[in-house]
């Protein structure tokens, strides 16, 4: 066994990309840490997210600290900024996405039980307060990530990484895994 490099690595990524047609976007509402924004941008670029909607006082992906973490991968995303969450949510829906909040809320369902096969925009909120009541009310559905430990929530960048992967996992398991020849 050896680590994949160069052509082998590119071939593996191309095989998964051919197997992936789901449209994913993200809406960040008030995510204040540039380090979180940078990590989200890098994960989004790695998992084929199309658009990143920035609402409210979210740190800019162009911030030097965000750039340090994202390593310039923001160039692979269509990033759109909005003054408020209502405007961002309206644009998400106009662009053809279902808006799914990622939040610990009373009517949220475990993410693995949600049907994420349609074009999906996953919305997250502020590191301390989560998704605002306004944005939560505009969501077409709300999901959460089941947790077993003594910690009540995940870091927003980690939670979004898991959510993006779940969208892809559902697609891949529905269609079968690609050959890795």
Using CA atoms, how far apart are residues 115 and 177, in angstroms rounded to an integer? 19
The 10s digit of each residue's pLDDT in 117-143 is 999 999 999 999 999 999 999 999 999
| pLDDT at residue number 145 | 97
Q: Read off the pLDDT of each residue in 155-166 and give the average, rounded to a whole number.
A: 98
Using CA atoms, how far apart are residues 179 and 165, in angstroms rounded to an integer? 19
Please report the DSSP string for 16-45 in residue order.
HHHT----EEEEEES---HHHHHHHHHHHH
Q: For 68-103, give one letter per residue: b (16+ CB within 10 A) or e.
A: ebbeebbeebebbebeebeebbebbeebebbbbbbb
- The answer to the question of residue 17 being in a domain is no
Order across the sheet with 24-29: list the strands.
78-82, 51-55, 24-29, 120-124, 98-102, 141-144, 109-110
- The answer to the question of residue 5 being in a domain is no
More confident residue, 30 or 176: 30
Question: Is it the case that residue 175 has pLDDT exceeding 80?
Answer: no
CATH number at residue 153: 3.40.1280.10
Please report the DSSP string for 80-99 in residue order.
EEESSHHHHHHHHHHTTPEE
Domain count across the chain: 1
Q: SS3 breakdown of the chain: % helix, strand, coil, rounded to 5? A: 40, 20, 40
Q: Read off the pLDDT of each residue in 51-74 and give the average, rounded to a whole number.
A: 96
Containing domain of residue 171, as a range? 22-175
The 10s digit of each residue's pLDDT in 70-104 is 999 999 999 999 999 999 999 999 999 999 999 99
Question: Is it the case that residue 40 has pLDDT exceeding 60?
Answer: yes
| pLDDT at residue number 91 | 98
| pLDDT at residue number 18 | 83
pTM of the model: 0.91
């Amino acid at each position: 066994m050896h680590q994949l490099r160069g052509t082998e690595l590119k071939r593996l990524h191309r095989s998964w990309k051919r197997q992936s047609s789901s449209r994913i976007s993200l809406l960040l509402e008030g995510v204040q840490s540039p380090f979180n924004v940078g990590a989200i941008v890098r994960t989004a670029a790695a998992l084929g997210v199309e658009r990143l909607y920035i609402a409210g006082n979210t740190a800019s992906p162009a911030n030097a600290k965000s750039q340090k973490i994202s390593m310039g991968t923001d160039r692979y995303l269509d990033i759109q900024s909005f003054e408020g969450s209502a405007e961002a949510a309206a644009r998400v829906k106009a662009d053809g996405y279902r808006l799914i909040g990622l939040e610990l809320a009373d009517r949220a369902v475990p993410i693995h039980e949600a049907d994420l096969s349609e074009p999906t925009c996953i919305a997250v909120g502020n590191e301390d307060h989560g998704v605002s009541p306004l944005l939560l009310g505009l969501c077409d559905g709300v999901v959460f990530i089941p947790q077993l430990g003594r910690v009540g929530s995940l870091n927003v960048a980690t939670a979004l990484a898991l959510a993006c992967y779940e969208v892809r996992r559902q697609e891949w398991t529905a269609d079968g895994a690609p050959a890795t020849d």
